[in-house]
A and B are shown apart, each in its own frame.
Chain A
Amino acid sequence: MHKVPKYICCILLLFCSLNLYAQTDTTSTDTTTETKPVVKEKPYHQLVISFDISQPIINSYLTYRNGYEFAVDYYFRKELYFVGETGWGRAKVNDTDLRYTSKNSFFRVGFNKSLLSSISSKDWDMAYIGLRYGMAFIQRSLVSYTIYDNIWGNTTGQIPNGKSFNAAWFEIAGGMRVELLKGFFAGYTIRGKFLLTQSAFRELAPIYVAGFGRGDKTAIFDFNFYLSYALRWRNKQVSDTAPAASTESP
């Protein structure tokens, strides 16, 4: 747990930089186009489906693990987004002294709060902070081990029968998402993850838990790089408060 302050500092630093950036953003808007009001409420619903493209890249060179992650977020109101994330993965340890496999699925739920003020009703770029609660459902195979002892001789044994157990954690998240083409986003999320169920990993901490990361650590810094597609439909109850800005291309 001694790494927790380090991760919190990193996340706070990121948030500070994002916040500064957000403030700069607003100021520049005010000075260059003073007639453009800040949009108070967007007259749209938005559902964004995201795929984490960093996972296949990491899978390709960290051969002991394999993971995939997806995310869905929904714009609620006042720059608040509800987020649901899911995925699955597996890990294989095949060393001379330890051999087992594990696999798991996971989900995370939480929210993001955008720090960027929208410059138009069609501005969906966001720099955000958020919180998550995550849970993984892990299955581990039987474990084979060898204890090498030059004096008394080697010991080889097995821990028979696989084991199923759950892990829970919470996350502080921050990141950025930019609409590159209409409806298509790219963005990243940086996460500080803190394991809540340490006792589940005491017997044998899985080397990799999809959604969390290394099972032998209680605090983890992690990263996702998402490609996303947005589905939007008009909210009839909220009128567009910035008609002048609506002509701006996204």
Chain B
Amino acid sequence: MIRKDRHLLLILFGCFSLLMAACNQEAQPCGQPKLVSVSIGCYYDTIGALPTTSGSVIYDTGTVDTFLPNAIWGYVNNNGVAIPYTQGPPNVNTFSIFLSSVSDTCKWFVNPDSSSTLSQTDTLTFIYTRQLHFLSNACGYTYYYALSHVAHASDTAIDSVVIADGSITSNVNTQNIKIYFKHNGK
């Protein structure tokens, strides 16, 4: 009787465990983005005197999120042609772009309000180094980037660009760049 119990236990555990082990070894699909993106936040600088509607002046020493009214952004391809990538929903204050994996520099443009004829399109030039990074057997390789410089043209809506975190990786919780727009275009 004892032997029969053992045999039964052997078979039951064997079937269960074979199933578990086989499932454990199945190849997994890629469950993460294969390209890393640069997260950009939009702000305007309120340091200094700000006129109010009543004509008085207030003084501020901080920054405020800028909600781009009708933003459109895109990239400048290898032939110098500006190609729209995304037209964001109204009043976005963050967006993402992708750096080139075939070059150590690339250009993106952003227009804060494409519905306005007065709105200017600004071009940002990103300069960086690439680092090949293994994601997983399911996802393969990707490039991580070390962002060293972001240039922008003068006399545009952008006041300044700050690299908050130049390490561009799979970490999506970090804002990499802060763009400070001129307040009321000034």
Question: What is A's interface to B at a CB cutoff of 8 Å?
Answer: 21, 25, 28-29, 54, 57-58, 61-62, 64-65, 93, 95, 97-98, 119, 125, 127, 145-149, 151-153, 155, 157, 176, 178, 180, 186-188, 190, 202-208, 213-214, 216, 220-223, 225
Q: How far is the CA of A225 from the CA of B13 in the complex (A)?
A: 10
Chain B positions 132-169 with a Cβ under 8 Å from a chain A Cβ: 132, 134, 136-143
Q: How many Å lie between the Cα of A180 and that of B6 in the bound state?
A: 10
Q: Is the CB of B35 within 8 A of A98?
A: no
Nearest B residue to A57 by beta-carbon distance?
Answer: B18
User: A153 and B102: CB pair below 8 A?
Assistant: yes
Q: Decide: A225 and B18 in contact? CB cutoff 8 A.
A: yes
Tell me the dominant secondary structure on chain A's binding face.
Answer: mixed
Q: Would you mind naming 29 contact pairs between A and B with Cβ atoms under 8 Å apart?
A: A25-B2, A29-B2, A57-B18, A62-B25, A64-B27, A65-B25, A97-B34, A97-B141, A119-B2, A127-B6, A145-B140, A145-B141, A146-B140, A148-B34, A151-B98, A152-B78, A155-B143, A178-B3, A178-B7, A188-B10, A205-B136, A206-B137, A207-B137, A208-B25, A221-B20, A222-B21, A223-B17, A223-B20, A225-B14
In the complex, A90 Cα to B102 Cα: how many Å? Answer: 33
| Nearest CB in chain B: distance from A163 CB, A | 13
- Chain B contact residues: over half helix, strand or loop, or mixed? mixed
Report the Cα distance A127→B10, complex, angstroms.
10
Within 8 A of A (CB), among B165-183: none
- The residues of B with any CB-CB pair to A shorter than 8 Å are 1-3, 5-7, 9-10, 13-14, 17-18, 20-22, 24-27, 34-35, 75, 78, 85, 98, 100-103, 106, 132, 134, 136-143
Q: Which 4 A/B pairs are nearest by Cβ-Cβ distance?
A: A223-B21, A97-B140, A98-B140, A152-B100
Closest to B26 in A: A62
Is the CB–CB distance between B6 and A178 below 8 Å? yes
The complex places the Cα of A206 from the Cα of B2 at a distance, in Å, of: 44
- Given A149-B98, A178-B6, CB of A54 within 8 Å of CB of B21: yes
